[in-house]
Structure 1
Amino acid sequence: MQARLAGLVCAAIFAVCACASLQPEQTGNRLIGSPESSVRDTFGAPSERYRLANGATRWIYSRQPLGFYVYAADFDAGGKLTGFRQMLTENEIYKAQVGVWTKRDIEERFGKPRDPIQYYPLMKREAWSYRLYRDGYLPAHFSCYFDDSGVLQQTMIIVDPLGGGGHGRVR
């Protein structure tokens, strides 16, 4: 009887872990209202943590550089989860404000770049790149270009004709 109960407990734990890794947004959204400890128990330690201007906290779960996803878990001032979403979507990327956002703003939304950072001396631009799926299934790169003072000057999404095999290069 105890062996069967232990087996059922193990199966339940496995199912919860599988859901968290296979459907992170759905799993995260079911946790809305839960404390930080529940999110950490479900998804593990975040890649990064940021204190946002509105007093909220954002945890970043990055699957970069080889993955195509970056998830954000947002918590209110009391430490309760208020939102969980995939950040590397065209909708989120198009919110970037050229001439206004800084490296910090990009990091708060998409995490630190995991691909090598490039610098183009003739343009005087630093380039960060993130992998994503464009239109839901096309491997692509989202690139951000910053001036020497760290202000965003340009963004672009480039579909990768090789299916993602050449990540890390800004084209």
Structure 2
Amino acid sequence: MSTSSDSPHRVARAPGRGVVAGALASLCLAACAAFAPVTIVPGQAEADVVRALGPVTARYAMPDGTTRVEIARGPLGRQTYMIDVDAAGRVLRGEQVLDERHFAEIVDGMTEAQVLRRIGRPAERQPVGFVGRVVWSWRYENNLCLWFRVTFGPDGRTIGGGGYLPDPLCEPPFEPF
């Protein structure tokens, strides 16, 4: 088939490599920007923080009368921001809480509500057999492919604080011999 300009038949061509590479680069930049760290400034409006970080995933009433706003983001929940706001909707403080410093604050005997206010919703909740226990797990950014896990007893309180285990998403699939 001819591709000259005087031919009534034209061959459809795929976009050039430059077009595809440009589209991929734009997509990568947008994805990186979406998950880049965000500076949270005391005094800024809650709406501005939500615009920068994404939708609110939970709200918690704090003992001091403020509201803690949870914004869980990132693939598989590897980032969760907790932003404390006053009654006027102004930011008092905020930070990303899925890290070992915040996990160390989870101690034996804490309630489910206390854990949620501290580090937000887990990526996964699993009942543990007939004993009435539930294990919550959080994925977080680390180089060892670990996740943080907390076990709750039938009374809804933590048993032994929390611990770290290999993230099953990092494990190769089991193949029997």
TM-score (norm 2): 0.68
Structure 2 segments unaligned to the other structure (5+ residues): 1-29
Q: CA deviation at 1:150?
A: 0.4
Amino acid at match of 1:88: L
Return the alpha-carbon distance in structure 2 between the equivalents of residues 80 and 165 of structure 1: 46
SS in structure 1 at match of 2:69: strand
- Contact 2:133/2:153 (<8 A) preserved: yes
Aligned to 2:39: 28
SS in structure 2 at match of 1:126: strand
Return the alpha-carbon distance in structure 1 between the equivalents of residues 60 and 152 of structure 2: 20
Amino acid at match of 1:125: R
Aligned to 2:84: 74
Q: What is the alpha-carbon root mean square deviation over aligned residues?
A: 2.6
Indicate how the Cα distance of structure 1 residues 120 and 141 shifts in structure 2: closer, same or farther if over 3 A, else same: farther
Q: CA deviation at 1:21?
A: 2.3
Task: State how 1:59-138 maps to structure 2 within 5 Å.
Answer: 59-63=69-73, 66-99=76-109, 101-122=110-131, 124-133=132-141, 136-138=142-144
Moved over 4 A (4+): 17-20
Return the alpha-carbon distance in structure 2 between the equivalents of residues 20 and 83 of structure 1: 22
Return the alpha-carbon distance in structure 1 between the equivalents of residues 52 and 75 of structure 2: 22
Return the alpha-carbon distance in structure 1 between the equivalents of residues 46 and 167 of structure 2: 36
Q: CA deviation at 1:76?
A: 2.6
Q: CA deviation at 1:39?
A: 1.5
TM-score (norm 1): 0.70
Return the alpha-carbon distance in structure 2 between the equivalents of residues 108 and 164 of structure 1: 30
Residue deviations 1:26-69, cap 9 Å, x none?
x232x321121222222232111111111111111113771322
Indicate how the Cα distance of structure 1 residues 161 and 82 shifts in structure 2: closer, same or farther if over 3 A, else same: same
Q: CA deviation at 1:110?
A: 2.2
Indicate how the Cα distance of structure 1 residues 65 and 114 shifts in structure 2: closer, same or farther if over 3 A, else same: farther
Stretch of structure 1 that moved more, 142-151 or 153-162: 153-162
1:160 to 155, 167, 174: 167
Return the alpha-carbon distance in structure 2 between the equivalents of residues 90 and 112 of structure 1: 16
Identity %: 29
Q: How many residues align?
A: 143
Return the alpha-carbon distance in structure 2 between the equivalents of residues 18 and 162 of structure 1: 21
* Higher Rg of the two aligned structures: 2
Structure 1 segments unaligned to the other structure (5+ residues): 1-16, 167-171
- Contact 2:77/2:123 (<8 A) preserved: no
Return the alpha-carbon distance in structure 1 between the equivalents of residues 55 and 70 of structure 2: 9
Higher RCO, Cα 8 Å, sep 6+:
1
Return the alpha-carbon distance in structure 2 between the equivalents of residues 34 and 75 of structure 1: 10
